[in-house]
Amino acid sequence: SIIISPNVNEEKGTSVDVTSNFNGNWKVVSHTGNESVFFDVAIDQKIEEVCLTPKFPNTQIIQECSQYNELSAGECIKYKDVTYTQPSNINLYTNSKTPLELSKADGKFCYTLNPSESLYYKFGEDSIIIVGDTVYDSIDSNVTQETGFAHLNISTEFPYNHLVLYMPFDVRNVSTTIHDWSDYNNDGTINGNPVWNATGRFGGAYEFDRVGDYIDVGDISGFTDNITVSAWVKHQRNDANTQGIVGKWRNTGGKQDFLLWTQSDGDLAFQTAGVTSGVYTDFRGININTWHHVLGVYNGTSVELFVDAVSQGHNDASGNIDDSAESAEIGRYNDIAEFDGTIDEVMIFNTSLKQAQITAIFNNQSSRFSNFGLQTFNQTNVSSGPGDTEDRLNVTLTDYQHLLGSNISVKVNDGVYTNLSSSGTATNLAFTTNPNYINITFLYLPGNGSSGGATFYSPVISENITLTSFTVSGEVADTENATMTNFKEYLT
């Protein structure tokens, strides 16, 4: 669910005049934090100094209004519990538009002012945060939401309509769950301590150290006489130990289905159980610390191994693949044959890919995702309070991934799309409100790193989305009539 989290950096309150008698004694001061939650109503006032004092040490759960009467903004018609988290830093604004980040000292956030110049000041931001810790409360078209992030839908065209597992590892997981991007939702569980890094073959990847590291994907089934298993691998070592890459295989108890692995002699191999002559082994050219694309295919008549889109040969084979209740695993097989290196872009199809499709995957020319996607947050109220109108918006993503020419742009209401910066921001987006509700739409466009049209890589929005609204005329403080305004959220 979407959580609008109005802590001290996001809360909006009421209007308060700020004046000075120019001798260092401030008469009235205010701040944007929720005065009933974390901060004392009366801010400490000293000569040329203002301090914000926390009331609570960590977090508090407070009942807040989640929906106001649109005809009477002061009337609450729906409440919810909101968790307030005390920040470690707070921005302070004076007459300058550039914020100054304050750190807590002696339990307070303090700043020394120049009363003859700093006629305007405020603590905190006028913003709301869309928290992506579960799923976003948005209307999606061709966009799939996982826990804490969103990406383009997987293509419904062949062969991706036969994709039963896809783990690109592009998002750093905050839990032990690894998400399957396919429609089958065969999410996996981290075991041991595989390390995520952002520099895989494409985006993120997981490093395995052969010391209890693997990903348990559970019982993937539905294979008969067709299967394709694919991954990018970078071996750290290729010694006299077998290393499982992707498989559903245990040597005892009849729990063998399929296996892509490195044998103790250094050969890559692919095997299917229940199939006559269902193993092919013939590649010893693994270079340490070099990425290779490895892929095994069984099509009902032969089993074949591909490395970097080149066939290494095949064996004639026949029969149906065994279907045990064993869990599929990434990074090991048979409980002990553990991988030493990095694995990325794991895919399993319940169909057999042909040479052209394998080559397209290897060359980033395979159309894996939808051509575009839309994610819309409707009826977000950016009012500064009853009777107030704001007309500009800044958007900031906590985590934005956009490799291989993919990108995300954003628009407000029926405005034009603005591309997000490389760090995931878009600023000064103009809008009109009626009365103060806006719709924010993100446009996802895939990429492939070339001039071709393949939709190979999906951009990703992960974690929180921050929306900061303001009025153009209020960007610079009016020192002639120094009025400090706090804002109150009216969110639906």
Domains of the chain, by residue range, sit at: 3-125, 155-362
Residue carrying structure tokens 């993100």: 442
Are β-strands 373-381 and 139-141 bridged in parallel, bridged antiparallel, or unpaired?
antiparallel
Task: Average the pLDDT over 250-267 and give the result.
Answer: 84
Q: What is the DSSP letter of 334?
A: T
How does residue 123 score in pLDDT terms, banded at 50, 70 and 90?
A: low
Mean of per-residue pLDDT scores for the chain: 77
Task: Average the pLDDT over 241-263 and give the result.
Answer: 87
Q: What is the DSSP letter of 289?
A: T
Question: Of 221, 217, 220, which Cα lies nearest the Cα of 190?
Answer: 217
Q: What is the pLDDT of residue 287?
A: 86
The least confident of 81-85, 139-143, 229-233, 234-238 is 81-85
Q: What is the pLDDT of residue 348?
A: 98
How does residue 84 score in pLDDT terms, banded at 50, 70 and 90?
A: low
User: What's the token pair of residue 183?
Assistant: 């429609």
Q: What is the pLDDT of residue 9?
A: 28
Q: What is the pLDDT of residue 115?
A: 53
User: With contact defined as beta carbons under 8 Å apart, do 459 and 445 qualify?
Assistant: yes
The least confident of 34-38, 369-373, 380-384 is 34-38
Asked whether the predicted pLDDT for residue 332 surpasses 80, the reply is yes
User: What's the token pair of residue 89?
Assistant: 């830093």
Q: What is the pLDDT of residue 45?
A: 40
Question: Of 141, 199, 190, which Cα lies nearest the Cα of 170?
Answer: 199
Asked whether the predicted pLDDT for residue 336 surpasses 90, the reply is no
User: What's the token pair of residue 226?
Assistant: 């067709």
- Rounded to 5°, angle at Cα 53 from 4 and 51: 110
How does residue 436 score in pLDDT terms, banded at 50, 70 and 90?
A: low
Cα 32 from Cα 10, distance rounded (Å): 8
Task: Average the pLDDT over 354-370 and give the result.
Answer: 96
How does residue 466 score in pLDDT terms, banded at 50, 70 and 90?
A: confident
Strand order across the beta sheet in which 109-112 lies: 44-46, 49-52, 109-112
The least confident of 113-127, 152-166, 238-252, 377-391 is 113-127
Other beta carbons less than 10 A from residue 75's beta carbon: 10
How does residue 83 score in pLDDT terms, banded at 50, 70 and 90?
A: low
With the C-alpha atoms ordered 209, 210, 215, 221, is the resulting torsion angle positive or negative?
Answer: positive
User: With contact defined as beta carbons under 8 Å apart, do 181 and 154 qualify?
Assistant: yes
Distant-in-sequence contacts of 424-431, Cβ < 8 A, 24+ apart: 424/396, 424/397, 424/398, 424/399, 424/400, 425/394, 425/395, 425/396, 425/397, 426/394, 426/395, 427/394, 427/395, 428/392, 428/394, 429/392, 429/393, 429/394, 429/395, 430/391, 430/392, 431/391, 431/392, 431/393
Asked whether the predicted pLDDT for residue 357 surpasses 50, the reply is yes
Are β-strands 332-333 and 328-330 bridged in parallel, bridged antiparallel, or unpaired?
unpaired
Q: What is the pLDDT of residue 474?
A: 43
Element (H, E) at 356: helix 355-362
**What number of residues does the chain have?**
492
Q: 30-81: per-residue pLDDT in tens?
A: 333 333 333 333 334 444 666 776 655 566 676 665 565 555 445 667 776 7
Q: Of 380 and 201, which is predicted with more confidence?
A: 201
Cα 272 from Cα 475, distance rounded (Å): 66
Q: How far is CA 141 from CA 174, 370, 441, 456, in A?
A: 26, 10, 11, 18
Are β-strands 460-470 and 437-445 bridged in parallel, bridged antiparallel, or unpaired?
unpaired
| Amino acid at residue number 42 | A
Cα 403 from Cα 210, distance rounded (Å): 30
The least confident of 14-28, 215-229, 264-278, 442-456 is 14-28
Task: Average the pLDDT over 353-369 and give the result.
Answer: 96
Cα 303 from Cα 296, distance rounded (Å): 7
Q: How far is CA 306 from CA 4, 60, 65, 350, 414, in A?
A: 49, 56, 59, 17, 49
Q: What is the pLDDT of residue 483?
A: 29
In a 3-state reduction of DSSP, which class is residue 360? Answer: helix
The fold for domain 155-362 equals: Jelly Rolls (2.60.120)
Asked whether the predicted pLDDT for residue 367 surpasses 90, the reply is yes
Q: What is the pLDDT of residue 96?
A: 56
Asked whether the predicted pLDDT for residue 154 surpasses 90, the reply is yes
37: left (phi over 0), alpha (psi -120 to 50) or beta: alpha
